Structure 1
Amino acid sequence: MSESESSPRIGQIVRVVQGREFGQYAVIIDIVDERFVSLADGDKRKYDKPKLKNLQHIELCDYVSPEVRNSLLETGRVTNGKLRFALSKFINENLIDLKKGDQLDG
Protein backbone atom coordinates (compact mmCIF):
# COMPACT_ATOMS: atom_id res chain seq x y z
CA MET A 1 0.00 0.00 0.00
CA SER A 2 1.38 3.42 -0.92
CA GLU A 3 1.64 6.32 1.52
CA SER A 4 -1.24 8.25 -0.10
CA GLU A 5 -3.62 5.29 0.24
CA SER A 6 -2.84 4.57 3.88
CA SER A 7 -2.90 8.08 5.35
CA PRO A 8 -6.26 9.80 5.83
CA ARG A 9 -6.60 13.50 5.00
CA ILE A 10 -8.98 16.18 6.27
CA GLY A 11 -11.89 16.52 3.84
CA GLN A 12 -11.38 13.05 2.35
CA ILE A 13 -14.44 10.99 1.43
CA VAL A 14 -14.63 7.52 2.99
CA ARG A 15 -16.96 4.53 2.76
CA VAL A 16 -17.86 2.72 5.98
CA VAL A 17 -17.10 -1.01 5.64
CA GLN A 18 -17.95 -2.17 9.18
CA GLY A 19 -20.56 -1.19 11.70
CA ARG A 20 -24.10 0.09 11.77
CA GLU A 21 -23.45 2.61 8.96
CA PHE A 22 -22.03 -0.04 6.57
CA GLY A 23 -21.97 1.09 2.95
CA GLN A 24 -22.57 4.76 3.73
CA TYR A 25 -20.24 7.59 2.77
CA ALA A 26 -18.88 10.28 5.08
CA VAL A 27 -16.22 12.98 5.22
CA ILE A 28 -13.16 13.00 7.50
CA ILE A 29 -13.44 16.16 9.59
CA ASP A 30 -10.68 15.38 12.11
CA ILE A 31 -7.77 12.97 12.49
CA VAL A 32 -7.75 11.94 16.15
CA ASP A 33 -4.60 9.79 16.11
CA GLU A 34 -2.96 7.11 13.95
CA ARG A 35 -5.93 4.74 14.44
CA PHE A 36 -9.05 6.92 14.64
CA VAL A 37 -10.76 9.65 12.62
CA SER A 38 -13.93 11.70 13.14
CA LEU A 39 -16.56 11.35 10.41
CA ALA A 40 -19.62 13.42 9.56
CA ASP A 41 -22.05 13.46 6.63
CA GLY A 42 -24.06 16.60 7.42
CA ASP A 43 -27.30 14.61 7.55
CA LYS A 44 -27.49 11.78 10.09
CA ARG A 45 -24.05 12.61 11.48
CA LYS A 46 -23.81 16.37 11.94
CA TYR A 47 -20.55 18.30 12.31
CA ASP A 48 -21.27 18.91 16.02
CA LYS A 49 -21.66 15.17 16.76
CA PRO A 50 -19.16 13.33 14.54
CA LYS A 51 -18.66 9.57 14.54
CA LEU A 52 -15.35 8.31 15.90
CA LYS A 53 -14.27 5.50 13.57
CA ASN A 54 -11.33 3.10 13.47
CA LEU A 55 -9.32 3.39 10.24
CA GLN A 56 -9.62 -0.39 9.77
CA HIS A 57 -13.41 0.00 9.51
CA ILE A 58 -13.42 2.51 6.65
CA GLU A 59 -12.29 2.52 3.03
CA LEU A 60 -10.52 5.71 1.95
CA CYS A 61 -11.76 7.03 -1.39
CA ASP A 62 -9.36 8.76 -3.74
CA TYR A 63 -11.12 12.13 -3.41
CA VAL A 64 -10.63 15.08 -1.07
CA SER A 65 -13.34 17.76 -1.07
CA PRO A 66 -11.60 21.13 -1.54
CA GLU A 67 -14.60 23.03 -0.08
CA VAL A 68 -14.62 21.02 3.16
CA ARG A 69 -10.84 20.96 3.48
CA ASN A 70 -10.43 24.72 2.98
CA SER A 71 -13.27 25.53 5.37
CA LEU A 72 -11.84 23.31 8.13
CA LEU A 73 -8.29 24.61 7.68
CA GLU A 74 -9.31 28.29 7.54
CA THR A 75 -12.04 28.48 10.22
CA GLY A 76 -11.83 25.16 12.06
CA ARG A 77 -15.50 24.49 11.22
CA VAL A 78 -17.59 23.36 8.28
CA THR A 79 -21.33 23.66 7.71
CA ASN A 80 -23.51 20.56 7.45
CA GLY A 81 -24.70 21.88 4.09
CA LYS A 82 -21.13 21.86 2.78
CA LEU A 83 -20.69 18.27 3.97
CA ARG A 84 -23.91 17.19 2.22
CA PHE A 85 -22.88 19.05 -0.94
CA ALA A 86 -19.43 17.42 -1.02
CA LEU A 87 -20.90 13.93 -0.54
CA SER A 88 -23.64 14.35 -3.15
CA LYS A 89 -21.13 15.75 -5.66
CA PHE A 90 -18.78 12.79 -5.06
CA ILE A 91 -21.56 10.17 -5.21
CA ASN A 92 -23.15 11.66 -8.34
CA GLU A 93 -19.83 11.78 -10.19
CA ASN A 94 -18.94 8.21 -9.22
CA LEU A 95 -22.39 6.73 -9.87
CA ILE A 96 -22.33 8.27 -13.34
CA ASP A 97 -18.95 6.61 -13.95
CA LEU A 98 -20.24 3.26 -12.66
CA LYS A 99 -23.43 3.35 -14.73
CA LYS A 100 -21.81 4.25 -18.07
CA GLY A 101 -21.56 0.58 -18.99
CA ASP A 102 -24.89 -0.43 -17.47
CA GLN A 103 -28.33 0.20 -18.91
CA LEU A 104 -30.44 0.32 -15.78
CA ASP A 105 -33.37 2.34 -17.12
CA GLY A 106 -36.13 -0.17 -17.60
Structure 2
Amino acid sequence: MSNQSTLQIGQIVKILKGKDAGQVAVVVSIEDSRFVYIADGNKRKFDQRKKKSLLHLEPQSFISSEVANSLNESGRVTNGKLRFAVTKFVQSTEPHAEEKGD
Protein backbone atom coordinates (compact mmCIF):
# COMPACT_ATOMS: atom_id res chain seq x y z
CA MET A 1 0.00 0.00 0.00
CA SER A 2 1.62 3.18 -1.18
CA ASN A 3 -0.18 5.56 1.21
CA GLN A 4 1.41 3.90 4.24
CA SER A 5 4.93 4.89 3.24
CA THR A 6 3.89 8.54 3.44
CA LEU A 7 3.21 8.55 7.19
CA GLN A 8 4.71 11.57 8.93
CA ILE A 9 5.34 12.53 12.53
CA GLY A 10 2.29 14.39 13.81
CA GLN A 11 -0.07 12.62 11.41
CA ILE A 12 -3.42 11.36 12.71
CA VAL A 13 -4.13 7.65 12.22
CA LYS A 14 -7.16 5.49 12.86
CA ILE A 15 -6.40 2.21 14.64
CA LEU A 16 -7.85 -0.79 12.79
CA LYS A 17 -6.64 -3.76 14.88
CA GLY A 18 -6.09 -4.53 18.55
CA LYS A 19 -7.83 -3.49 21.74
CA ASP A 20 -7.72 0.17 20.65
CA ALA A 21 -9.48 -0.54 17.33
CA GLY A 22 -11.66 2.36 16.23
CA GLN A 23 -9.65 4.90 18.24
CA VAL A 24 -7.70 7.82 16.79
CA ALA A 25 -4.06 8.53 17.68
CA VAL A 26 -1.06 10.60 16.57
CA VAL A 27 2.19 9.26 15.08
CA VAL A 28 4.92 10.34 17.54
CA SER A 29 7.88 8.50 15.98
CA ILE A 30 8.71 6.24 13.05
CA GLU A 31 10.58 3.02 13.85
CA ASP A 32 11.21 1.75 10.30
CA SER A 33 9.26 1.01 7.11
CA ARG A 34 6.87 -1.32 8.97
CA PHE A 35 6.33 0.16 12.45
CA VAL A 36 5.48 3.49 14.05
CA TYR A 37 4.85 4.63 17.61
CA ILE A 38 1.49 6.22 18.39
CA ALA A 39 -0.05 8.04 21.35
CA ASP A 40 -3.25 9.97 21.98
CA GLY A 41 -2.32 11.86 25.16
CA ASN A 42 -5.29 10.48 27.04
CA LYS A 43 -5.42 6.70 27.38
CA ARG A 44 -2.07 6.22 25.66
CA LYS A 45 0.38 8.83 27.00
CA PHE A 46 3.55 9.94 25.21
CA ASP A 47 5.78 8.11 27.73
CA GLN A 48 3.74 4.92 27.21
CA ARG A 49 3.47 5.15 23.43
CA LYS A 50 2.39 2.07 21.50
CA LYS A 51 4.37 0.39 18.74
CA LYS A 52 1.98 -0.45 15.89
CA SER A 53 2.37 -2.10 12.52
CA LEU A 54 1.47 0.10 9.55
CA LEU A 55 -0.86 -2.68 8.42
CA HIS A 56 -3.01 -2.05 11.50
CA LEU A 57 -3.38 1.70 10.93
CA GLU A 58 -5.40 3.82 8.53
CA PRO A 59 -3.57 7.11 7.82
CA GLN A 60 -5.71 10.23 7.81
CA SER A 61 -4.93 13.36 5.81
CA PHE A 62 -4.76 15.53 8.97
CA ILE A 63 -1.26 16.40 10.24
CA SER A 64 -0.86 18.32 13.50
CA SER A 65 1.79 20.99 13.00
CA GLU A 66 1.95 21.64 16.77
CA VAL A 67 2.89 18.02 17.52
CA ALA A 68 5.32 17.79 14.58
CA ASN A 69 7.08 21.04 15.54
CA SER A 70 7.37 20.08 19.20
CA LEU A 71 8.83 16.65 18.38
CA ASN A 72 11.27 18.09 15.85
CA GLU A 73 12.49 20.79 18.26
CA SER A 74 12.75 18.89 21.55
CA GLY A 75 12.09 15.23 20.78
CA ARG A 76 9.12 15.32 23.17
CA VAL A 77 5.52 16.45 23.08
CA THR A 78 3.07 17.14 25.89
CA ASN A 79 0.05 14.92 26.34
CA GLY A 80 -2.09 18.06 26.17
CA LYS A 81 -0.89 18.76 22.63
CA LEU A 82 -1.67 15.18 21.63
CA ARG A 83 -5.18 15.44 23.12
CA PHE A 84 -5.67 18.79 21.37
CA ALA A 85 -4.62 17.33 18.00
CA VAL A 86 -6.96 14.34 18.36
CA THR A 87 -9.87 16.55 19.47
CA LYS A 88 -9.27 18.99 16.62
CA PHE A 89 -9.27 16.13 14.10
CA VAL A 90 -12.44 14.55 15.51
CA GLN A 91 -14.24 17.90 15.46
CA SER A 92 -13.15 18.55 11.88
CA THR A 93 -14.55 15.19 10.74
CA GLU A 94 -17.76 15.48 12.76
CA PRO A 95 -18.87 19.11 12.53
CA HIS A 96 -22.44 18.22 13.53
CA ALA A 97 -21.38 16.59 16.82
CA GLU A 98 -22.88 18.19 19.90
CA GLU A 99 -20.48 20.08 22.12
CA LYS A 100 -20.20 19.25 25.78
CA GLY A 101 -20.13 21.95 28.38
CA ASP A 102 -22.19 24.49 30.25
Identity rate, percent? 51
Report the equivalent of 2:68.
Answer: 69
Tell me the alpha carbon deviations over residues 14-63 of structure 1, each in whole angstroms, 9 at most, x when there is no partner.
00011110000000000001100000000110000100000000000001
5+ residue gaps, structure 2: 98-102
Q: Distance in 2 between matches of 1:31 and 1:8?
A: 8
Report the equivalent of 2:45.
Answer: 46
Instruction: Output the TM-score relative to the length of structure 1.
Output: 0.86
SS at match of 1:60: strand
Give the number of aligned pairs: 96
Partner amino acid, structure 1, of 2:91: N
5+ residue gaps, structure 1: 101-106
Structure 1 consecutive aligned stretches of length 4 or more whose deviation exceeds 6 Å = none
Q: Distance in 1 between matches of 2:53 and 2:85?
A: 22
Report the equivalent of 2:58.
Answer: 59
Report the equivalent of 2:100.
Answer: none
SS at match of 2:45: coil
Report the equivalent of 1:13.
Answer: 12
Q: Distance in 2 between matches of 1:92 and 1:62?
A: 14
Q: Distance in 2 between matches of 1:49 and 1:79?
A: 12
Q: Distance in 1 between matches of 2:62 and 2:72?
A: 17
Report the equivalent of 1:32.
Answer: 31
RMSD of aligned residue pairs (Cα, Å) = 1.4
